[in-house]
Structure 1
Amino acid sequence: MNYILIGDSGHGKVIEDCIRANGHQVIAKLDDKYPSLFKMGSYMKGPITAIGNLLDVNTKVVISIGHNAIRKKIVERLQLKEELYGTVIHPSAIISPSSKIGYGTVVMPNVVVNADSLVDNHVILNTGCIVEHDCIAGNFVHISPSAVLTGGVIVQEGTQVGARTSINPTIQIGKWSMIGAGSTVIQNIPDHVTAVGVPAKIIKERGTFGD
C-alpha cells in the first residue's frame, strides 16, 4: 500500500516510520508551503491541491499534522470519502481485538489500547500512551506521549491530552480542550478550556476549535 501524507512535518516523519514498519511506503508529502508539484528523491512534493493527481486505488491518505483544529480543517477542505483515508498502526502497538480504531487515525510505537475502547477518526495516539478498557477518544483527539487514560475515560472531539498526563477512571473531558503535560485529572473537564496541574485546574478559556 502507498500513502500520501498531508503535511510535511516532524510529526509526518514519525508517521512515515510507522508506515515503513508495516512494509508500506510514502509516495508523496503535500503541504501548502510548496507552490507546485515536484519530485524530491523518492517523493512527490507539492501543494495540497495536487492530491487529485496522485490518488489511486492503491493509495491511502493520512493527515500528518499534530494540531487538531488544522487537521479537522484539512479534512473538511479535502472532502474525501472515508475509505480513502488510511489507518496506521505501528507493529509494536498492542490493540485489543474488542476495540475499534477509526479511519485516518495513527497509532504510534508502544501504544496500548485495551478492551472495548473506541478510538474514533483522525485521532493521534502518540508514542507509549495507554488507553485502558472502555475508553472513548473522539474525532481529532490527540493523546500525547506516555499519557494514560484509565478505565472508562471519555475524551471528546478535538481535545489534546498532554504528555505524561494521567486521567482517573470514568472522567469525561469536553470538546476542544487542552490538558497540560504532566497533569492529573480527577474531575470532569468542560468544553473549550485549558486545564493544568496536579490535580488539574482550569486556567484558560479557549476558542471554538481550541485555538
Structure 2
Amino acid sequence: MEIVRVPLLNANENELELVEVMVAVGDEVQKGDVLCTVESTKATFDVEAPAAGVVREWPTKEGSRVEVGALLCVLTATADEAYELSADDAAKAAESGDFRATRKAKELAEAHGLDLNEAGLTGVVRERDVRALLGQSQAEDVQKTTEGAVGAGRVHLSDLQVRPSAEQMVMYGAGGHARVLIDMIRQGRPDWELLAALDDGRTPPLDVLGVPIVGSSAELTTLRQAGVRLAALGIGAVTDNARRVGLYQKLVDAGFHVPNLIHPDASVSASVTMGLGNQIFAGAVVSATVRLGDNTIINSGAVVSHDCEIGSHAHITPGAILAGNVKVGAGAVVGMGVTVYLGVTIGEGAMIANGVHIMSDVAPGEVIRASR
C-alpha cells in the first residue's frame, strides 16, 4: 500500500489548492502517472504516483483547499488488497465517500440533464463515457453555442450561460495575442470553456475566433461575481510592458484565478517552478530548474536554458535564446533573436532590441538598441 499526501511546496504555506484531479477511485495507474495538480501562491506541482497500483481512496474534491500532509489518495497493488488507515486518515476518507465518476463527467452529465445513476454505466465513469452517451463532443457543443449567438448579432452579458461549477474562462483582449491564446487553450485545455472575451477598443468586433466579445474590462467584476473563475490576459503589449503589468493586476484585483497556459508543443521540464498567469508558447523550451515569476511570456521558439530565473511580467520574445543561469528582472523585455551569454543578469525593466548578442550584465531600466 502507498499513501500519497499533499506535498510541501513552500515553507510559508500550510494549504494548497487542488487544481485538477486526473484520476478517480478504481483507476489503475503506473508509477510516474500524474494523479493531480496542486498549486501554491508561487508554484504549481504535479503529484505523481509513487508506484503502480489501483486508486482506492480520494477524499478531497477538485478546487478545494488541502492541508500540507493531508491524505490525497491510497494506492494498492490490486483492487481487492486489504489495507488500514490511521484514525485521522480514515475519518477524512469517510467524510467524502467513494465517487465513481470524475468531476468533468458529472458536470457534463448535469449540463445535459443526464442522470448517471440511470445511465447503465459501470466502474469509473469518465467524461468520454458521458460524451459517448450523448453522441457529441465538447467541441461541437461549444461551436454550436458560440456560432448561434454570434450569428444573431452582438452577444451581451445577459446572454451568457454561466455555470459556477464549470471551468469557464474569460479572455481579456481580442487581438493577435488573444487569438494565439485561444488556439492554445483549445488545443491544450479542451476541458476549459472560453465563455466570453472583453475588449477595451472603441468598436470591438462581435467575436474573436468564435468567442463572443461581451463588453470592456468594466465587466470583469460582474463576470467574476456571476461565477466565472478563470481569466487569461490576451494582450501582449510588447512595446509597453508596463501596461501589461497593470492589465494583469486588473484580473487579479477582480478575483480571477489566472492559470498558467502552456502550449502542448512547448517543452517544459518537470523541475520548472512557476507562479501564476505565465504563458509558454508553441516551440518554446524551458529547461531544468528554471524559475518563472507571475505573468511572464515565453514566446514562440524561445529557449530558456537550465537554472535561469525570469522575473514577474518579463517577456522573452520569439526566438530569443538564454544560456544557463541567466537572470531576467521583473518587467524586462528580451527582443526577438537575442542571445544572452551564460550567467548574465538583465535588470528589472530593461529592454533589449531584436537580434542583439548580450555578453555582459544589463542595468535595470537600460535600453539596448540594435545596431544599424
Report the TM-score when normalising by structure 2. Answer: 0.49
Q: How does 1:22-33 map to 2 (within 5 A)?
A: 22=188, 23=190, 24-33=192-201
Deviation of 1:80 after TM superposition, in Å, equals: 3.9
- State the shift of 1:136 in Å: 0.7
Unpaired runs of 5+ in structure 2? 1-166
Taking the TM superposition and a 5 Å limit, the aligned residue runs for 1:131-150 are 131-150=304-323
Deviation digits for residues 86-121 of structure 1, max 9, x if unmatched?
Answer: 211000111111111221111100111111101111
1:19 partner amino acid: I
How many residues were matched structurally? Answer: 196
What is the deviation of 1:34? Answer: 5.1
Query: What pairs with 1:1-211 in structure 2 (closer than 5 Å)?
Result: 1-22=167-188, 23=190, 24-33=192-201, 40=207, 42-55=211-224, 59-67=229-237, 68-78=241-251, 79-81=253-255, 84-197=257-370
Query: If you compute each CA radius of gyration, which structure gives the higher value, 1 or 2?
Result: 2
Query: Larger relative CO (CA 8 A, sep 6+): 1 or 2?
Result: 1
Task: Give the RMSD, CA atoms, in angstroms.
Answer: 2.2
Instruction: State the Cα deviation string for residues 7-35 of structure 1 (Å, max 9, x = none).
Output: 22111111111111111342222122258
Q: Secondary structure in 2 aligned to 1:5?
A: strand
Point out where structure 1 has 5 or more consecutive residues left out of the alignment.
Answer: 199-211
CA distance in 1, matches of 2:196, 2:311: 28
Q: Is this contact kept in 1: 2:197–2:211, CA < 8 A?
A: no
Distance 1:175 1:156 in 2: 4
Task: Tell whether the 8 Å contact from 1:184 to 1:197 is kept in structure 2 after alignment.
Answer: no
**C-alpha separation in 2, matches of 1:27 and 1:39:** 14
The code of the aligned residue for 2:264 comes to: P
Residue identity in the other structure for 2:180: V
Identical-residue share of aligned pairs (%): 28
Q: CA deviation at 1:70?
A: 1.1
**TM-score of the two chains, using structure 1 as the length reference:** 0.85
Could you tell me whether the CA contact under 8 Å between 1:34 and 1:46 is conserved in 2? no
Code of the aligned partner of 1:62: A
